[in-house]
Structure 1
Amino acid sequence: MENLDICAAQYCSVAGNLNANIDRHAQFMRLAAKQGVKFLLFPELSLTGYEPTFARKLSQAPDAEILQPLRELAKQLRMTTVVGLPLSHAGSGAVLIGALVFSADGSQTVYTKQHLHPGEETVFSSGNGGSFLNIGSEKIALSVCADFTHASHVQNAVKAGAGVYATSVLISDNGYPRDSRLLKGYAREHSLGVLMANHGGPSGGWACAGRSAFWAPGGQLLVSAVGTGDCLIIARRRQGVWQGQTVECSTTR
């Protein structure tokens, strides 16, 4: 079984400040690359914060020039990176909760959140998901927050041959016990690696739980952030055995 180094960025977004978040994402990316990471996952709407009132104003087209530094950096570092932001849908005026994938080879793909939480439909439209990612010989399935609460979403990933299920989320203190049990259950039931990237601080009025994590196939909690704050949660597979590491992040805001 091929070696694999994947990472969840637990990230404290600067509310509504796209430029500041782009700069801080680049700092996280460089730090992750120094750790040998090949796949880096940021939380839901990481580039703006989970701020529905700002979403339409801050929404970007997938090919927006303002995002070019992150595209180029992902290619330079040879590290596939998934960032979250509101995406404008050309021609319809719809705003989607998007995950942009900047691939190590310089290409780009888009994943859009399929299942909205109650209330999100006042600002956002449902998306169509997206393609699986190949990191080396590993197939990784993406999801954004409420997507993972639908068992069929995970089941479809497993049927397609995914070995890792990577979810970008905003999970509050109150929701964490339930949601973490669900993700652990998927890892156990489907023998699936589950990577979860959560916000590390308050966003959109929510007290986010942090505690980003990776559950190894079989359901063992391999590594988790202790609480809130900026950090990297790294899962490494060597000769078929998973190991975990937490790296604290000290970045400028």
Structure 2
Amino acid sequence: MKARVLVPTMMGMLMGLALTASPALAKKKAPPPTPEPTTVSTAVDSDISHDADNVLLLDLSDGGRVAIRLMPQWAPTHVERIKTLAREGFYNGVIFHRVIDGFMAQTGDPTGTGEGGSKLPDLKAEFNAVPHLRGTVSMARTNDPNSANSQFFIVFYPRFALDHKYTVFGRVISGMQYVDAIQRGEPPANPTRVLQASLASDKKGPPPAPISAAAPSLSADKPSLSQPN
């Protein structure tokens, strides 16, 4: 089973703490050392027509299309993972399972619990010096720096306490108003879904809106969402 993948709570943010592991994980072994961040240019091209193979499009169930500029200059293996999963249809139908007002919206877990991920191996951290500004897109992980897999989050407002601790791989360049409208909750009562994730170069039109966007049914043997201390 995949380890819990969550970003920090607001209390942890105020204390400037990194993500806390579950007690069971913490007892097994100490997390590996945090790698030094790589210094890169933070400039982002906001023109969707440029380098369309590095523009991720998220069509949301609440309406609207979000365009994210993927930045291989910042995190090449993370960008490649996102592109691979998007082209496989992995993110289609996945909910935003953890959305904290004034903080961030997290998605990328097909179980909708915050416990899952893809079948691909976890990624080695590619921490960089890109700040977590409004619209920044970054990978979620456990307290192990090398545990990012498929879950990612979009920042509502600047959260510099996350800098150098999570791999930033992109930034919203269009449709941030639709990100702002994502349903809040952990998980939300009526969560926003990614109806379709695609690359602009694939030239896919938005899918038809569903009649309803109910939360996925969780089986009794699935662990419930819990928060770090």
Normalization by structure 1: what TM-score? 0.27
- Higher share of residues assigned helix: 1
- Higher share of residues assigned strand: 1
Normalization by structure 2: what TM-score? 0.29
Which is bigger in relative contact order (C-alpha 8 A, separation at least 6)? Answer: 2
